[in-house]
Amino acid sequence: MSKNLLKYFINTVIAFFAISVFSINQIKKDSSYIYFTEGIKSIKLNKADLAYKYILKSKELYLTRKKIDSVFICNIELYDIVKSQKKLNKDPLQYLKENQQYKITDTVWVIALKNRFASYFFNQNSPITSAKYYKESLKLCFKINRKDYAQNTYTNLGLLYSIKKPDSASYFLNKALNTTSVNNPDKLIGIYINLINLYQKQKNYRKAIEILEKTKNLKLSQYEVKYQKIIYQKLADCYQQIGNYQRAYKYQQNYILYKDSLNTSQQNIAIANLDKKYKVTEKEKENLQLKQDNLINEQQIKHGKNLFYGALAFLILGGIIGFLTLKNSRRKRLLAEQQNQLEQQKNLTLLKEQELNTINAMIEGQEKERIRIAEDLHDNIGSVLATLKLHFENLQLNREKKHFNQEKLYKKTEKLIDETYLKIRSIAHAKNSGVIANKGLLVAVKIMAEKISDANKISIDVIDYGLNKRLENSLEITVFRIIQELTTNIIKHSKATHASINISQFENTLNIIVEDNGKGFDYNKIAINKGMGIGSIQTRIKHLNGTFEIDSTKNKGTSIIIDIPINNT
């Protein structure tokens, strides 16, 4: 019940928090866009300081939301505003430089940035830097296949080079001409005028006249009277320069007609400007209303912030309560798990003690057997050998002084030797009188494996092949001791659950493979010279002219392969 209540509480807090954050983000999103649009409107109304204020505020909001593309566009607009209004007393280049650190996906705005850099350095009388940016802009235009943007850049490069490199200027202006559609006379007229000015500077008046004749026939959608006045004036100047005064007079008359017409048009424009001023006054009233609306928006933002902070405090409090509850539950579960692990550890310890007791009993039996053999050797063979030594000393003395019957002394000595042989033989028979002497190596190994497996801690399988005949008794005993030592190591150190002993006879070779699925070990880090473990086994196998290999990988078990040569003859 408490867990369900806690879960419901946490979900409610998260939902409340998500709604609060969404509402605040939505308000911020609307505010940044509103400020930007108001800035653009102020630009059109020629209110630079107000436009600068709105767009700067929009940029700050976009930065908090990490809307880099929108920040980029705001910087372009800020550059244009500051560059056109000297009274703002700011360096416009800072906004272009800031944009260099941003990576945006819209290539069109990157082209706009390059062109503004070029224009800035053109006005700073740095034509080389300006040309560099125009050429970078050209590459981007071709990349997105925008010939209209490329045309503008070609025109700007033509103007840039017209001062000192007229040939380059002619090249770029003609490129601009070739990329402009004949169906766009409003674009063509500007390129033609720039080419005409270039040819006039070069005093190539005939070429200028050729282009002027084409230009005067263009059908323009705007400023037609203004451009016709310019064209007729230039035609009059060019014909005068080549001495054709008749045509110069004709075009001068046309120029005067269009000039008078333009003055009338300018009067109409002045009337239109008065009307525009009236409309601007009305627009200012609208702006006042907009400011009031912005104040309302700011109050909404403050309200949203207060809501956010309240939700955040509520979430933190709920989180602390939930954390403490979960921590207490986790502590109880951890204590239960630790208690369970202690019980399992006790069971494992008991099983391990049983195994060790079995191994200790086995080792203790072996030690008693060794003590018995040592005592037999000391008590029986030792005394007989001491007596033999005395007989040999008597034989040596008697050979010189003849105190005893030599023949009788030899017989006694021979009898002692036979007695020594029989005692040694009886000790050997007593040592080998167990399972190995009676039933052989394979049966002894199987009995040992069965006894170990009965403890239910590790199962040991014995696999045999080719052991149809008994081996030499001493070899069987040595091999049994080796297998016994390897099995003891598995039980004591490997933590294995299964092992196998494979004994095979191939012609004159006895092959033994002992494997387990235990934890394995690093053979290179084992001190084999200490104790009676692997070093002792290697020594025994070396005496039998055999080979000994260990293949062990951590957590993947161990395999030991032994090959011993045997003689069946």
Q: Got the DSSP string for 501-516?
A: EEEEEETTEEEEEEEE
Q: Would you tell me how many other CB atoms lie within 10 Å of the CB of residue 426?
A: 12
Among all chains, which residue has been given the structure tokens 């208690």?
Answer: 339
Long-range CB contacts (< 8 A, 24+ apart) of 548-554?
550/523, 552/520, 552/521, 552/522, 552/523, 553/520, 554/519, 554/520, 554/521, 554/522
CATH of domain 184-259: 1.25.40.10
Instruction: Label each residue of 446-468 as H, E or C.
Output: HHHHHHHHCCCCCEEEEEEECCC
Judge if 106-180 and 184-259 fold alike in CATH terms: yes
Q: How far apart are CA 141 and CA 137, in angstroms?
A: 6
Q: What is the mean pLDDT of residues 333-361?
A: 78
The residue type of 44 is K
Long-range CB contacts (< 8 A, 24+ apart) of 382-388?
384/416, 384/419, 384/420, 384/423, 385/420, 387/416, 388/413, 388/416, 388/417, 388/420
pLDDT above 50 for 549: yes
Contact (Cβ atoms closer than 8 angstroms) between residue 179 and residue 150: yes
Contact (Cβ atoms closer than 8 angstroms) between residue 162 and residue 198: yes
Q: How far apart are CA 512 and CA 483, in angstroms?
A: 9
Rg of the chain (C-alpha set): 55
Q: Which of 304-313, 431-440, 484-493, 540-549 has the lowest mean pLDDT?
A: 431-440
Contact (Cβ atoms closer than 8 angstroms) between residue 18 and residue 311: no
pLDDT above 60 for 530: no
Q: Would you tell me how many other CB atoms lie within 10 Å of the CB of residue 405?
A: 11
Q: What is the pLDDT, as a whole number, of residue 550?
A: 92
pLDDT digits 0-9 by tens, 6-31: 454 455 445 444 444 444 444 445 68
**Which is it for strands 557-565 and 547-553: parallel, antiparallel or unpaired?**
antiparallel
Q: What is the pLDDT, as a whole number, of residue 149?
A: 81
pLDDT digits 0-9 by tens, 179-223: 777 778 888 888 888 888 888 888 888 888 888 888 888 888 777
The string of DSSP codes covering 63-110 is HHTT-HHHHHHHHHHHHHHHHH-GGG---THHHHHHHTT---S-HHHH
| The CATH number fitting domain 106-180, selected from 3.20.20.70, 2.40.50.100, 3.30.470.20, 1.25.40.10 | 1.25.40.10
Can you give the pTM of this predicted structure?
0.41
Domain parsing of the chain, residue ranges: 24-105, 106-180, 184-259, 341-431, 439-565
Distance of CA 355 to the CA centre of its chain: 49
Mean residue pLDDT of the chain comes to 79
Phi and psi dihedrals of 288, rounded to 5?
Answer: -60, -40
Q: How far apart are CA 205 and CA 482, in angstroms?
A: 116
Where helices occur in 377-405 by DSSP H, the ranges are: 382-401
Q: What is the mean pLDDT of residues 290-309?
A: 72
Residues 439-565: name the CATH superfamily. Answer: Histidine kinase-like ATPase, C-terminal domain (3.30.565.10)
